[in-house]
Amino acid sequence: MRHTRTTTLLATIGLGVGLALTLSGCTGAGGDGATPTASTSSSSTTSGAPTPTDGATPARTPGSGATHTSSPPSSTAPAAATGTVPETCDDLVTPGAFEYTDEAALNDPAVVGDLEVPRTALTPARQSSGQRLYCVWRDPEADLTNLTIQVENVVPSRATEALRGLSGFDCASVDDGLRCQKVTQNPQYPVTDGDTYFTRGDIGIRIAQSNVPTDGLLEDVVGHVFGCASARRP
C-alpha cells in the first residue's frame, strides 16, 4: 500500500509574476527580456491613430481636383495569442518540469474508468461544438493525492461572468485573461487543496489538485495552450 505524501501546498500553481511573464511572452513581439513587476497591469492602453501635430494641413487648391493628404501611420496593436485545446494530455505539461506529472499514473482506467467529465464553474460557458481535454494524474492506490487539468473551448463572455461569480475565490485580471484561485485546507487530511481557473478568449482552464505542490503549473499549461511553452524553463 503506497503512503500518501502530506507535502503542504504553498503558492499552489505559481501564479502572479510567473503567469504574467508567460502571457507577455505569448502576446509580445518575441520577448525582449523586459520583466514586468508584480503590479504590472494588463490595462495598458494603445492609443488610436496619431494625429498630425505640426499644424501643416495642406489647403485645398481651387480647381485642383483631388486633394493630396497624408494618412497617419497605422497603430494597430499586435493580435493577442490564440489558444488551442491540446490533442492529448502529454501535450499539456512540459516533461520533466513537475515530479508528480512525471511519476503519477495518467488517466488510469482504475481511476477514471467510464467516469464522465465532471462539471466545473466553466461548464455553463462551454461551447457545445468545441474541443475539451480532461486529464487526471492519480495513483489508483492513493486515497487523496491527485491532480486534474481540464481545458476546453468556452464562450468568452459567459466564462468571464461565471468566474466572477465564484464565491471564496481570489480573482485577478492578468494579460487579457482572468485568473481565479482558491486554496483551502483539506477537511479530512492535513494537506492543502487548490482550485484554479483561467480564461482568455475562447479558452477555459481548470486545475484542481490535492496534496500536489506544483509551483508554476498554470504558467506551463498556459504556455502550451497559447503556443509559447518555450517561454518556460524547467
Task: Please list, residue by residue across 43-74, b when 16 or more beta carbons sit within 10 angstroms of its beta carbon and e when fewer do.
Answer: eeeeeeeeeeeeeeeeeeeeeeeeeeeeeeee
The pLDDT tens digits along the chain (234 residues) read 444 443 333 333 443 333 333 343 454 323 333 222 333 333 333 334 444 444 444 444 444 444 444 444 444 434 455 899 999 999 999 999 999 999 999 999 888 887 788 899 999 999 999 999 999 999 998 889 999 999 999 999 999 999 999 999 999 998 779 999 999 999 999 999 999 999 999 999 999 999 998 889 999 999 999 987 544 444
Task: Please list, residue by residue across 17-41, b when 16 or more beta carbons sit within 10 angstroms of its beta carbon and e when fewer do.
Answer: bbbbbbbbbbbeeeeeeeeeeeebe
Number of residues that make up the chain: 234
pLDDT at position 115: 73
pLDDT at position 80: 53
Other CB atoms within a 10 A radius of the CB of residue 132 amount to 14
Is this prediction's pTM over 0.75? no
pLDDT at position 229: 58
* Residue 223 CA neighbour count, 13 Å, CB half: 21
CA dihedral 185, 203, 36, 46 (to 10 degrees): -140
Other CB atoms within a 10 A radius of the CB of residue 221 amount to 27
pLDDT at position 143: 86
CA distances from 225 to 23, 91, 121, 167, 210 (A): 11, 9, 19, 27, 23
d(CA 89, CA 91): 5
Q: Which domains does the chain have, with CATH numbers?
A: 17-29+79-231 (3.40.1000)
pLDDT at position 26: 55
Question: DSSP letters of 138-173?
Answer: --TT-SS-EEEEEEEEB-HHHHHHHHHT-SS-EEEE
In three-state secondary structure terms, 102 is: helix
pLDDT at position 62: 42
